C-alpha cells in the first residue's frame, strides 16, 4: 500500500480502480502549402467545428452543473472568435505559406506566452484557456478525437484536466479524480464541487497506477494506492456512512430552518440562470438569494432587450411561487467579458470597470434591466441587489435612477410590486462604511469571495498563492460580524451569498454573529440546514 498526500477540492470518499487519463501525443509539423487561401478556408472550417463542440459542451454543462459551471465554454467561444487571435493564424498561413495546424500551434504558443508573462493574475490565467482552444482546433484539423475514460466506473488520474475534459466524462463512470497540477479555485475544481465528485490536486501521479485499486479521501486529501484489506474495509464503511448521512439530510425536506433557540434563518440558493431552478427546488431552498442576471448578457450576441429580461425574471418569480427572489444586477467585467460591451483592456480588470460601475456609466443599459425587474415584480416576490458598492454616493445615484424608472412605468400605466433594494458587501470600503450604507438600503448580502481576495490582496485563482489564501482569515470574519452588527443597528437584515455561506465549519460562528440569511449552491442547502437546526448557542 502506498499513501500520497494531495489537496482536497471536494469532500467525499471514492473507491475503485484507477484509469490513467493520457492525452494523445501529437506532433505538429510545419508543412509548405501552395494554396494558402484554401488553407485559410480549412482553418475557418475547423474553427466552426470547434465552436460547435464548445456549444455542445455548454449545453451539456448547463444540464449537469448549471449556468455558473457552463460559462467557461462561452468564454472559450469568445476567445476563439477574437480578431487578434484569428488574424494571427491567417497571417502566419498566408505570409509563411504554412499549414493551418502549424499556424494555430504557433499562435497559441505566442498568445499563451504573452498572457503568462503579464503582471496581472487574471490575464495569466487566460494562458491556459488559449492553450485549450488552440488544442481543440488542432485536434479538429488533425482528425484526433477526444481521449476516452474507462468503460467501467473508475477514479481518473491525470496530469491535469481541462474543464472541457471534465464535462465530457460520463458522470456515471467518474468516481473521482486526482491530478498532479491544478488549483483549488480553477474552473475544473469548481466543476468537481458542482458535480459532487471527490477530487484531489497536487498529487505526484504515476502512469504505472493504471488499473490498480485506490481510495480517495476527499476530506484529509489522502490517496491510497492498493490499500490494505483493513483500510479498504474502513473506507467502505465510511462511504456507506456518508451515503446514509445524505439520505438523512434529504429527510429534512420541508423542515424549518431554525436554531434550537428558536431563531429562524433564511436559507436560500444561488443560481446562475433559469436552468438552475430545478436544482434549487429539488434541494428545498427557501428562496433565491443570488440570481446572477449576467447570464442573459453572456448568452446573447447583443444587449438583451427589456422583454427578454422580463420573461426570464418573471419565470423565476412565478416558479418560486411567492418565495423571495433576489436578482443581482449586471455583474459584467473582470473574468466575465462580453465582446459587444466593447470594454477596454485593463491592466487589472478585477478592480476595473465592472458591475455597478458599468451600470452607472451606461445608465441606458441599467435602466433597461431595472424596468424588466420591476415589471417582473408584479408576478412574485422580487428584490434587487447591486454589486461592487464602495460609497453612499453610488447608492443614492442608483436609487435616483430607480425612481426615474418607476416614474416612467407609472406614466405608462405598467404595474409593479414592492421591490426591496439591497447591496452586496464585497469590498473593504463597503464594510468600513456599512453603518452609513445601512441607512440607505433594505438589506446587505455579503459576497465573501471577492471580499476575501480584496481583503487579503490575493487572487483566488492563482495556484501559487494557495498556501497564503485563508478563507477563514480572522480579518474577513471580523468584517462579516461588523457588517451584521451595523445592519441590525439600522433595522435591516444581513446575509451571506459567497462560498463561505456553505462552509459548515463556520455555520455556528455565523449563527453567533446573528446572521439572518445564508444563500448557497443548491446542493449545500441540506447540510447547512442540518447544521443550523443543531445549533443551540446564543445569537445576537
Query: DSSP readout, 259-301?
Result: -TTS-B-EEEEEESSGGGHHHHHHTT-SSEEEEETTHHHHT-S
Active site residue 76: no
Collect the ranges in the chain with pLDDT lower than 70. Answer: 24-25, 65-69, 119-125, 146-150, 183-188, 190-191, 193-194, 249, 333-344, 346-353
**What's the pLDDT at 492?**
98
Residues contacting residue 83 through CB under 8 Å, at least 6 positions apart: none
Catalytic choice (76, 146, 359, 497)? 497
CATH assignment of 36-142, given 1.10.274.10, 1.10.1200.10, 3.20.20.70, 3.30.420.40?
A: 1.10.274.10
Domain 2-23+147-249 architecture: 3-Layer(bba) Sandwich (3.50)
**Whole-number Cα distances in Å, 396 to 55, 356, 400, 407, 537:** 41, 13, 6, 17, 38
CATH superfamily assigned to domain 252-534: Phosphoenolpyruvate-binding domains (3.20.20.60)
Pairing of β 443-446 and β 493-496: parallel
Model pLDDT for residues 166-193, shown as the tens digit of each residue: 777 777 788 998 998 876 656 667 667 6
Q: Which residue in this structure is represented by grid cell 451569498? A: 497
- Which stretches within 325-379 are classed as H helix? 356-361, 363-376
**What's the pLDDT at 413?**
96
Pairing of β 382-386 and β 213-217: unpaired
Active site residue 146: no
**What's the pLDDT at 514?**
96
* Prediction pTM value: 0.60
- Alpha carbons 186 and 459: distance in angstroms, whole number: 11
Catalytic choice (146, 187, 472, 473)? 187
What counts of helices (H) and strands (E) characterise the chain? Answer: 20, 16
- Alpha carbons 336 and 385: distance in angstroms, whole number: 19
SS3 (DSSP) at 391 = coil
C-alpha cell recorded at residue 235: 473506507
DSSP 3-state percent helix, strand, coil across the chain (nearest 5): 50, 15, 35
Per-domain residue ranges of the chain? 2-23+147-249, 36-142, 252-534
Amino acid at each position: 500500500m502506498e499513501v500520497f498526500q494531495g489537496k482536497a477540492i471536494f469532500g467525499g470518499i471514492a473507491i475503485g480502480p484507477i484509469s490513467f487519463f493520457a492525452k494523445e501525443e501529437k506532433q505538429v509539423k510545419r508543412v509548405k502549402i501552395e494554396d494558402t487561401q484554401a488553407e485559410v478556408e480549412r482553418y475557418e472550417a475547423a474553427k466552426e467545428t470547434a465552436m460547435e463542440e464548445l456549444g455542445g459542451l455548454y449545453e451539456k454543462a448547463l444540464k449537469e452543473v448549471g449556468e455558473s459551471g457552463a460559462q467557461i465554454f462561452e468564454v472559450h467561444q469568445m476567445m476563439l472568435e477574437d480578431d487578434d487571435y484569428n488574424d494571427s493564424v491567417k497571417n502566419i498561413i498566408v505570409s509563411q505559406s504554412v499549414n493551418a495546424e502549424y499556424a494555430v500551434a504557433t499562435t497559441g504558443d505566442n498568445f499563451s506566452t504573452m498572457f503568462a508573462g503579464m503582471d496581472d493574475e487574471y490575464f495569466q490565467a487566460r494562458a491556459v484557456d488559449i492553450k485549450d482552444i488552440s488544442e481543440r482546433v488542432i485536434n479538429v484539423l488533425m482528425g484526433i478525437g477526444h481521449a476516452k475514460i474507462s468503460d467501467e466506473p473508475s477514479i481518473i488520474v491525470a496530469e491535469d484536466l481541462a474543464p472541457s475534459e471534465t464535462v465530457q466524462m460520463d458522470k456515471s463512470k467518474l468516481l473521482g479524480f486526482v491530478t498532479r497540477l491544478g488549483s483549488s479555485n480553477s474552473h475544473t475544481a469548481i466543476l468537481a464541487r458542482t458535480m459532487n465528485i471527490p477530487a484531489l490536486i497536487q498529487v505526484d501521479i504515476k502512469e504505472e497506477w493504471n488499473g490498480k485499486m485506490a481510495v480517495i479521501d476527499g476530506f484529509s486529501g489522502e490517496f491510497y494506492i492498493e490499500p490494505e484489506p483493513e483500510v479498504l474495509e474502513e473506507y467502505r464503511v465510511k462511504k456507506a456512512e456518508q451515503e446514509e448521512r445524505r439520505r438523512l439530510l434529504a429527510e429534512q425536506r420541508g423542515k424549518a430552518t431554525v436554531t434550537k433557540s428558536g431563531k429562524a434563518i433564511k436559507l436560500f440558493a444561488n443560481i446562475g440562470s433559469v436552468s438552475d431552478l430545478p436544482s434549487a427546488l429539488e434541494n428545498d431552498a427557501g428562496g433565491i438569494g443570488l440570481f446572477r442576471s449576467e447570464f442573459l448578457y453572456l448568452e446573447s450576441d447583443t444587449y438583451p432587450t427589456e422583454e427578454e429580461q422580463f420573461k426570464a425574471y418573471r419565470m423565476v418569480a412565478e416558479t418560486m411561487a411567492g418565495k423571495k427572489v433576489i436578482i443581482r444586477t449586471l455583474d459584467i467585467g473582470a473574468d466575465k467579458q462580453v465582446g459587444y460591451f466593447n470594454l477596454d483592456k485593463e491592466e487589472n480588470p478585477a478592480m476595473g470597470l465592472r458591475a455597478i460601475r458599468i451600470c452607472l456609466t451606461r445608465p441606458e443599459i441599467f435602466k433597461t434591466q431595472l424596468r424588466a425587474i420591476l415589471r417582473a415584480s408584479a408576478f412574485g416576490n422580487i428584490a434587487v441587489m447591486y454589486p461592487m458598492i464602495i460609497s453612499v454616493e453610488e447608492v443614492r445615484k442608483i436609487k435616483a435612477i430607480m425612481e426615474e424608472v418607476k416614474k416612467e412605468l407609472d406614466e405608462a400605466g405598467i404595474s409593479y410590486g414592492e421591490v426591496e433594494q439591497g447591496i452586496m458587501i464585497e469590498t473593504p470600503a463597503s464594510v468600513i462604511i456599512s453603518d452609513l450604507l445601512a441607512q440607505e438600503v433594505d438589506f446587505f448580502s455579503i459576497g465573501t469571495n471577492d471580499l476575501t481576495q480584496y481583503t487579503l490582496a490575493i487572487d483566488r485563482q492563482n495556484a501559487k498563492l494557495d498556501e497564503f489564501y485563508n478563507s477563514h482569515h480572522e480579518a474577513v470574519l471580523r468584517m462579516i460580524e461588523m457588517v451584521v452588527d451595523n445592519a441590525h443597528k439600522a433595522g435591516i437584515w444581513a446575509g451571506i451569498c459567497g462560498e463561505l455561506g456553505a462552509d459548515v465549519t463556520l455555520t455556528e460562528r455565523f449563527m453567533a454573529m446573528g446572521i439572518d440569511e445564508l444563500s448557497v449552491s443548491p446542493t449545500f442547502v441540506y447540510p447547512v440546514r442540518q447544521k443550523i437546526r443543531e445549533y443551540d448557542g446564543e445569537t445576537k
